[in-house]
Amino acid sequence: MTTLLMVDDVSKSFPGVKALDGVRLELRRGEVHVLLGENGAGKSTLMKILSGVYRPDSGTVFFKGAPITFRDATESLRAGIGIIYQELNLIPHLTVAQNIFIGKEPVRMGFTIDGAKMNRDASEILKRLNADVKPTALVKNLPVSKQQMVEVAKALSYDSDVLIMDEPTSALTASEIEELFKVIRSLRGQGVGIIYISHRLEEIREIADRVTIFRDGQYVSTDAYQDLTLDEIVKRMVGREMENKFPRKKHVPTERVILEVRGLRRRGEAEQASFTLRAGEILGVAGLMGAGRTELARMIFGADRKAGGEILVDGRPVSVSSPLDAIQAGIGYLSEDRKTFGLALNMRLSENITMAYLDEVSTRSGRILKRLEKEATQRFVKSLDIRTPSVSQVVKNLSGGNQQKVVIAKWLFRSARVLIFDEPTRGIDVGAKYAIYELMDGLAAKGAGIIMISSELPEILGMSDRIMVMSQGRIATVMDVAGATQEKILHYAAGLS
């Protein structure tokens, strides 16, 4: 197999941090090369060098044997290096074909866009991907998985030899992931070299040919995937032994019901949801995307209106019609999308932590006691081990795991006793995941009731005491973790029973 891309001893520094320190990577034609590393390992920096956003301080990148000197992303695209970022970069109001050919529209007579040709060419590329997408469909009307296909098509429209995918599955359901993998395998068969970046170790076994691991900006190893074990990979990524992915459970569920939901119903839906959560318990909520897990959580939290049903906290009915009602009843909600729903990114760490309970650090007349606020938030930085230079750090500058801890701190500061974690470890690296698990365990041990919505079954099985499976907007079953298996959960999640 011929070498497509060769990263040779590349270093890149930013003020105060060496983002890449002599890293190597070799991508061959027709292979899927998985690049692994925790946040801060230097994966994104390398991607930005390959796409021409950054120039390396030293070292060279060879593309088909010649050193690259891209000045911007367009040049790297034209040369044949396509990149699909984690956040999709499509224009929602344009059609699929318009998106694929943006910036290189086929023209007639030098100035009018040849729409027919564009649609033809687009459908050809989409056919190559086996993607069931109409070139004339508006992108905003497509589900995320199809949008991702459009991104792939867009990258391929440059006749790319190299395709770089950054966490492409983070928004996809299991079946959509399978579809994407089919596309990846078929591209591999066509001789495209693919660099695949992911946090989800479970899924890479489906496609990985070789694996390169970075840690703290340094190259660790490259191996054929079959020569590695999962434990070995994790060890190399984290730089230490990780015997268990989940902490040994310290918490013991009590018999006291802390939250009871009776007949909760969404507007326009007939399905009613009823379940109980006990103090000191972690209730895992599994299900496919679109099963209504987040919708249920948002209703309990008062973020969305409910059409009917009752919520009882500590046996007392509470009327929840806004987040404030839920918060005052002791419920906290950590959204799956913390950047949109959880954090004010441009504000300080301390300001984010106190946001839901400013009364605690202000006078009756509304003056904020800033020293008190600082002291209170410093306590959380310490107890949750939030890595930050100070509490006045702007949250935007923290890593994903630390941002998640800030949201947790917000609800702990409010003394929430019922915590709803929606995909608590999404986009968080392995080491930080463990810390979040420990935190959840510790909270339950102190008597909190935790609802954990997760799409990662090992996480559900590893952390929960009971598992609630949702399917098509209703609760399919609630089972004890003892005796639960991935197969059993998937069985209910798929709507079989």
* Beta carbons within 10 angstroms of residue 236's beta carbon: 19
Using the rule CB under 8 A, give the single segment among 220-228, 275-283, 393-401, 475-483 that binds other proteins.
393-401
The contacts of residue 195 (CB under 8 Å, 6+ apart) are 5, 25, 27, 33, 34, 35, 162, 163, 164, 165
333 binds other proteins (CB under 8 A): yes
Sheet arrangement for strand 257-265: 272-278, 257-265, 308-313, 316-318
Least Å distance, CB 355 to other proteins, is 4
Pick one of 11, 136, 222, 328: the residue that binds other proteins (CB under 8 A). 328
Closer residue to other proteins in complex, CB, 274/415: 415
* Beta carbons within 10 angstroms of residue 15's beta carbon: 4
Residue 469 · residue 479 · CB < 8 Å: yes
Residues in the chain: 497
390 binds other proteins (CB under 8 A): yes
Pick one of 30, 59, 143, 323: the residue that binds other proteins (CB under 8 A). 323
Q: Which residue has the tokens 């915590």?
A: 419
Closer residue to other proteins in complex, CB, 154/338: 338
Pick one of 335, 377, 404, 454: the residue that binds other proteins (CB under 8 A). 335
Per CB under 8 A, contacts with other proteins among 293-312 are: 301, 303
N-terminal to C-terminal alpha carbon distance within the chain: 48
174 binds other proteins (CB under 8 A): no
Using the rule CB under 8 A, give the single segment among 14-22, 68-76, 151-159, 286-294 that binds other proteins.
14-22
Using the rule CB under 8 A, give the single segment among 9-17, 57-65, 120-128, 184-192 that binds other proteins.
9-17
18 binds other proteins (CB under 8 A): yes
Pick one of 102, 177, 394, 490: the residue that binds other proteins (CB under 8 A). 394
Pick one of 51, 145, 294, 393: the residue that binds other proteins (CB under 8 A). 393
347 binds other proteins (CB under 8 A): yes
Residue 132 · residue 68 · CB < 8 Å: no
Using the rule CB under 8 A, give the single segment among 91-99, 245-253, 326-334, 449-457 that binds other proteins.
326-334
Which helix (H) or strand (E) segment is 235 a member of? helix 230-238
Closer residue to other proteins in complex, CB, 357/492: 357
Least Å distance, CB 474 to other proteins, is 25
Using the rule CB under 8 A, give the single segment among 80-88, 137-145, 367-375, 418-426 that binds other proteins.
367-375
341 binds other proteins (CB under 8 A): yes
Handedness of CA 392, 395, 398, 402 (dihedral sign): positive
Per CB under 8 A, contacts with other proteins among 424-443 are: 431
CA 183 vs. chain centroid, Å, equals 21
Closer residue to other proteins in complex, CB, 112/244: 244
Concatenated DSSP letters of 427-483 = T--HHHHHHHHHHHHHHHHTT-EEEEE-S-HHHHHHH-SEEEEEETTEEEEEEESTT
Pick one of 368, 375, 383, 486: the residue that binds other proteins (CB under 8 A). 368
Dihedral Cα 396, 400, 403, 409, nearest 10 deg: 180
Residue 288 · residue 494 · CB < 8 Å: yes
Residue 149 · residue 183 · CB < 8 Å: yes
387 binds other proteins (CB under 8 A): yes
454 binds other proteins (CB under 8 A): no
Residue 303 · residue 338 · CB < 8 Å: no
The contacts of residue 475 (CB under 8 Å, 6+ apart) are 273, 274, 275, 468, 469
Closer residue to other proteins in complex, CB, 268/366: 366
19 binds other proteins (CB under 8 A): yes
Residue 221 · residue 212 · CB < 8 Å: yes
Q: Which of 456, 450, 324, 343 is nearest to 405 (CA)?
A: 343
- Contact set with other proteins (CB under 8 A): 14-19, 39-40, 216-217, 301, 303, 322-324, 326-328, 333, 335, 340-347, 351, 355-356, 358-359, 362, 366-368, 370, 387-390, 392-394, 397-399, 402, 410, 431
